[in-house]
């Protein structure tokens, strides 16, 4: 998409959105839909943060969805981006032992939540290995 096409799309989107703002009930419904969608995506991202994969990317997408309609989300997105960038810059400047500790901590969180959710017990049963310590302490998956 070149700059002219992008500008045309932006104008059409702004006109469409302004049309919704002129109809309060429709505008409220649209904002509610954006809020629900953004919060669901944000919550999924927060849950996914400790796991390998795109947890932080999902958080940023959820905040970006919310930021299309809410100023507080726009400010929060900016703040979270700055903090994330600073934390990643700090982490990459650390020695190998700190980075290894980060990997160990992440692995512990993943294994701990898989154990709590009964996933380790399920995998053990699939392979015929069923010690009691694999059972979820909260009764999930039993």
- How many whole angstroms separate alpha carbon 38 and alpha carbon 66? 5
Residue with tokens 């002219």: 4
User: Residue 124: pLDDT above 80?
Assistant: yes
- How many whole angstroms separate alpha carbon 110 and alpha carbon 102? 12
Whether 91 and 103 have beta carbons less than 8 Å apart is answered as: no
76-103 confidence digits (pLDDT tens):
999 999 999 999 999 999 999 999 998 8
- How many whole angstroms separate alpha carbon 26 and alpha carbon 69? 14
The pTM assigned to this predicted structure is 0.72
């Amino acid at each position: 998409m070149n700059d002219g096409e992008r500008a045309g799309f932006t104008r059409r989107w702004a006109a469409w959105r302004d049309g919704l703002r002129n109809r309060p009930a429709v505008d409220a419904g649209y904002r509610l839909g954006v809020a629900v969608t953004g919060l669901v995506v944000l919550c999924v991202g927060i849950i996914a943060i400790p796991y390998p994969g795109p947890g932080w990317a999902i958080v940023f997408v959820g905040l970006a969805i919310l930021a299309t309609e809410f100023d507080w989300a726009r400010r929060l997105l900016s703040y979270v981006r700055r903090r994330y960038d600073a934390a990643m810059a700090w982490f990459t400047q650390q020695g190998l032992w700190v980075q290894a500790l980060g990997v160990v901590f992440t692995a512990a969180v993943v294994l701990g939540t898989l154990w709590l959710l009964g996933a380790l017990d399920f995998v053990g049963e699939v392979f015929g290995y069923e010690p009691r310590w694999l059972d979820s302490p909260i009764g999930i998956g039993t």
